[in-house]
Chain A
Amino acid sequence: MKCLVVDDSATMRRIVVNALKTVGFTDTAEAGNGAEALQLLDGSIGLVITDWNMPVMGGLDLVKQLRGRLETAALPILMVTTRSVRDDILQALQAGISSYIVKPFTPQVLKEKIDQMLAGTPPAA
Chain B
Amino acid sequence: MIERTRLASFLAELENTLSLMHQLVSGVRSMDGDGPELARVMAIAESLYQQQPALRELPLALHEAYGAITSALGDIRVSRDTIQSHALDRLQRTHERLAEVTSATESATTALLDGLDRSLARIDRLEQVSLEAGGGADVRALAQELREEMNKLFGVLQFQDITAQQLGAAGDLLSGVEQRLQGVAALLEPERLPGVRPSLDPEPARQGPVVFDERASLHGGQARQELVDTILAEAARTPLGQPAPQVG
Q: Do A and B come from one complex?
A: yes
B79 to chain A, nearest CB (A): 37
Task: Give Cα distance in the complex from A85 to B244, angstroms.
Answer: 15
- Asked whether, in the complex, the Cβ of B213 is within 8 Å of the Cβ of A53, the reply is yes
> Nearest residue in B to A112 (C-beta to C-beta)?
B229
- Given contacts A89-B228, A125-B229, whether A11 and B211 have CB atoms under 8 Å apart is no
- Asked whether, in the complex, the Cβ of A103 is within 8 Å of the Cβ of B161, the reply is yes
Task: Give Cα distance in the complex from A8 to B247, angstroms.
Answer: 32
Q: Can you list 24 A-B pairs, Cβ within 8 angstroms, ordered by A?
A: A9-B161, A11-B113, A14-B154, A18-B116, A22-B147, A22-B151, A81-B213, A82-B161, A82-B162, A82-B165, A84-B224, A84-B228, A89-B228, A89-B235, A90-B244, A93-B232, A102-B228, A103-B158, A103-B162, A104-B218, A105-B155, A105-B158, A125-B230, A125-B234
Chain A residues touching B, range = 35 or more
From DSSP, what is the main secondary structure of chain B's interface residues?
helix
Known interface pairs A19-B151, A89-B231; 12 further A-B residue pairs with C-beta atoms within 8 A, sorted by A's residue number: A8-B211, A11-B113, A53-B210, A53-B212, A54-B211, A56-B209, A83-B213, A93-B240, A105-B225, A122-B233, A123-B229, A125-B234
- Asked whether, in the complex, the Cβ of B225 is within 8 Å of the Cβ of A101, the reply is yes
Does B236 interact with chain A (Cβ within 8 Å)? yes
- Given contacts A11-B109, A55-B208, whether A104 and B159 have CB atoms under 8 Å apart is yes
Does A109 interact with chain B (Cβ within 8 Å)? yes
Task: Give Cα distance in the complex from A44 to B208, angstroms.
Answer: 33
| Nearest 3 pairs of A and B residues by beta carbon | A122-B236, A82-B216, A125-B233
A5 to chain B, nearest CB (A): 13
Does A94 interact with chain B (Cβ within 8 Å)? yes
B233 in complex: contacting residue of A8, A15, A94, A123, CB < 8 Å: A123
Residues of chain A within 8 A (CB-CB) of B244 are 90
- Asked whether, in the complex, the Cβ of B228 is within 8 Å of the Cβ of A15, the reply is no
Does A40 interact with chain B (Cβ within 8 Å)? no
Chain B contact residue count (CB 8 A cutoff)? 44
- Asked whether, in the complex, the Cβ of A18 is within 8 Å of the Cβ of B162, the reply is no
- Asked whether, in the complex, the Cβ of A82 is within 8 Å of the Cβ of B229, the reply is no
Binding site for A on B (CB under 8 A): 106, 109-110, 113, 116, 147, 151, 154-155, 157-162, 164-165, 208-213, 215-218, 221, 224-236, 240, 244, 247
- Asked whether, in the complex, the Cβ of B231 is within 8 Å of the Cβ of A86, the reply is yes
Residues of chain B within 8 A (CB-CB) of A15 are 113, 154-155, 157-158, 161
B233 to chain A, nearest CB (A): 4
Annotate A36-52 by CB proximity to B: 1 below 8 A, 0 otherwise: 00000000000000001
A108 to chain B, nearest CB (A): 10
A107 in complex: contacting residue of B151, B224, B225, B236, CB < 8 Å: B151
- Asked whether, in the complex, the Cβ of B212 is within 8 Å of the Cβ of A90, the reply is no
- Asked whether, in the complex, the Cβ of A99 is within 8 Å of the Cβ of B232, the reply is yes
> Nearest residue in A to B218 (C-beta to C-beta)?
A104
Residues of chain A within 8 A (CB-CB) of B160 are 9, 11-12
> Nearest residue in A to B110 (C-beta to C-beta)?
A11
A18 in complex: contacting residue of B151, B208, B221, B234, CB < 8 Å: B151
- Asked whether, in the complex, the Cβ of B221 is within 8 Å of the Cβ of A103, the reply is yes
- Given contacts A9-B164, A11-B113, whether A102 and B236 have CB atoms under 8 Å apart is no
> Nearest residue in B to A55 (C-beta to C-beta)?
B211
Q: Which of A41-90 contact B (CB under 8 A)?
A: 52-56, 58, 81-86, 89-90
Does A124 interact with chain B (Cβ within 8 Å)? yes
- Asked whether, in the complex, the Cβ of B232 is within 8 Å of the Cβ of A104, the reply is no
Residues of chain A within 8 A (CB-CB) of B235 are 89-90, 93
